[in-house]
Amino acid sequence: MADTTETKHNSFGELISVIFQALILALIIRTLLFQPFSIPSGSMRPTLLEGDYLFVSKLSYGYSRHSLPFSPNLFPGRVWSGDPARGDVAVFKHPVTNIVFIKRVIGLPGERIQVRDGQVFINGEAIQRELTGQIDNVDITEETRPVDVYRETLPNGVSYNTLDLSPRAPGDNTREFTIPEGHYFMMGDNRDNSNDSRMGVGTVPLENFLGRANIVFFSIAGGASPLEVWRWPAELRIGRFFSSAQR
């Protein structure tokens, strides 16, 4: 009987050890390599949709205090830093509220950015913008009508689609912003439904970047939770599984 009790005790101890090691490994992977992230709003439509679940590469931009859970103030700046590239879809923390956002990098440190009649200007030069058609799909646009789609191409060749919900939206005409050193100008692809650097977010310090959006590994429509497996047959967006989160 003593041997049986001791065996059960050892088995329980081994189980606790395995669980603890697994949790430590998961924390290391989440902190240093890849962090799962779910799209909370429609600001990046049509590139990313609510219900998309993706991996964010923490390696892309190095690490700051914001890379750690709860953002402890352990060290200033970034280590093993990599600069965000123009056109990157990146996850970052709001400079004031620390709320997590996902937007596209449009402007780099030292540049001047302005929007005129929906056209983005970088240092006074308009970026390439072409009307490619319309999308009439409420799951993609959240609108029950056709929505104009523009293809933008940045100076470095990065190209992506944007939605234009209204030709006279508040963000279609802005003042000229000068980006401070060490900061970036971020915009959502859903141009008329995005709180970004044109509005309340302002320019984003490099320190606040969490990582570069990488791959959509799961996607479900209709506001369904991934745990609601009974809704999978009707709501899963199979075509978005393992697709690029960039464009």
Q: Are 204 and 231 in contact (CB under 8 A)?
A: no
Active-site residue among 60, 93, 103, 219?
103
User: Which one of the listed residues 43, 67, 194, 219 is annotated catalytic?
Assistant: 43
Task: State yes or no: is 103 an active-site residue.
Answer: yes
DSSP 8: H
For 76, the token pair is: 């200033």
Which CA distances in Å does 3 have to 7, 9, 153? Answer: 6, 10, 71
- Catalytic-residue membership of 43: yes
Give exposure, 18-28, as e/b (b: 16+ Cβ within 10 Å): eeeeeeeeeee
Stated as kind and residue range, the H or E segment containing 87 is none
CB 141 within 8 A of CB 45: yes
Catalytic residues: 43, 103
